[in-house]
Structure 1
Amino acid sequence: MTVELKGMKTSREHAAHSYSGYIMLGVLVVLTALAIWSLMSGAPPEGAAKAAKVMFVMRLLGSILGIMVVAAGFFMIQPNQAVVITLFGEYRGTERREGLRWVWPWMIRKKISARAHNVHSERVKINDLRGNPIEIACNVVWRVSDTAQAAFDVDDYKEFTNIQIEAGLRTVGARHPYDDMSDEDETTLRGSADVVNAELCAELNDRLRVAGIVVDEAGLTHLAYAPEIAGAMLRRQQADAVIAARQKVVIGAVGMVEDALNKLAHDGIVQLDDERRAAMVSNLMVVLCSDREAQPVVNAGTLYQ
């Protein structure tokens, strides 16, 4: 059965008609026993007519041919395995029932695994949304859902899957920046793993649908700047970290100075005019924000001298 999809006839899986191999195994045993009995007891005596000898040979050849036909039709199906059956180039269905099965020997049988496959892609170099070269890799869990499409709509479904995984990874990686360099809250490859992994899974399912492949899970396993810009990006990240730390220190210091001045004024420890207040604020900010230990300076005079 075929349907039209984007101008191409796409195959669709349907159940095949096969026989129980255990019943046919009994038939094979019976035919073998009959052939042996015919050979041992049905041989014409010496001097018998030529026609009797010919009939004996014909019966013997018929028994051997029957045994060969029955014996050639057996095939075994393991759990999570399917067999695609064709007859003279025509798709006759897919057999998924486990155990020993039998079809006519002139029907061609092709086994396809329906088990989950795990693929770890190679590291590929791409440019992210901002044009920065990055290295990226992913891990994909996929399986065959439609054996007819996998067998007839692509030449080699495993090779097709590997190529499409790399193509899908390049596409998704180029849609987003590696990291958020602005204040905007946007999706990034490094900071939005769940979103990127879901997008990669959807992209691969869309690409592999033509081959009857379903992606159950996809996720990034490697993400880094390319070596030629890794050093510069590391320095930028370090600078961002220093700025963020300094900003936090300054904000905390301002709060501490404010609390200190309010405490001094509230307890009446010292009365400060605007100039003395400014000097104390300056001294406290230097002590709290400096990355070195503060050195005390003893003032023998007054602030106004």
Structure 2
Amino acid sequence: MLTSHCTMLSELLQGNDSGGFLVIQDSCRYSGRDLLRSFISSALDREEVVHVLCFESSEEELKDGLRAPGLQRLHFHNAYSDPLGWMDHSAFTVDKFSFEELTHLVKQSPHSRPATLVIDSLTWILRHVSPPAVCKTLQQLKKGGAVRAVAALLHADMHQRGTVGSVCHLATSVITVSPGIKGDEALAKITKRSKSGKVLQDEEIFSIKEDLTVTIQNKPSHLGHKQADPEEQQTDPTANLTFNLRLSDTEREAKEKLALPFMFSKEKKTALLHPNQGSGRILYEPDANDDFDQEDPDDDLDV
């Protein structure tokens, strides 16, 4: 459920377009799992069929706060207890993360209409399946079929930048969450790509209640400037040098007045380009003893 004016985050909560792929990108500073659970709750309120792959959280944890009327359309696939299949009793394992397996899994449910697939989380899968294989599966899921939309959690600080970039490049929407100024608030940086290729970006302050209701506040600019993340601050490479690379105003003025050796004054340019009559010139007239052959200029050398 959602309490807000019409914002980009509220539009995403109200439902993805067919073929949509949403990535909630978080870090150790702020978890995006509650926001992912809010998307599950919103999808159930719209009477959608939802399939959840549980890798990092148990079914009981993800169910907490969800309302009973929609739970019959919610299907959990447990990969939490045995994700690698070592004990051979897990309902889903990481090696089954493929387009064919997921399509078969979703079609086994009694509901015939396309479902929303929720992945908690892609980080666990990416640590055991190659990124190209994961991206291929996600790209195939985007094309539709048994799955109408995909929403996934991704821990950005646990992967190389190229891996995160590849996954987010496939996404139609990316929500990057970080702590807000107040304890119960968080900041969402949203990037949304329309079907025409236009890219929209926004930043919104939000909070999540115990019943998974999302309340969207004012824009961050209306609440004052938040202190920059130390990781995002640019360090000064000249801060600890034993010599000074900067010029004072006096030094800069003296530098600008300095005449460089390869720069000619106006008077010198005039003298060189327009020599006066009678100025010294060197003329060479060959005599009869000069034996200079144009065909062989080295003919006079004893070689």
Name the TM-score class by shorter chain.
under 0.3
Highest RCO, 1 vs 2 (Cα 8 Å, sep ≥ 6) = 2
Higher-helix-fraction structure:
1
- The TM-score with structure 1 as length reference comes to 0.22
TM (norm. structure 2) is: 0.22
Q: Which has the larger radius of gyration?
A: 1
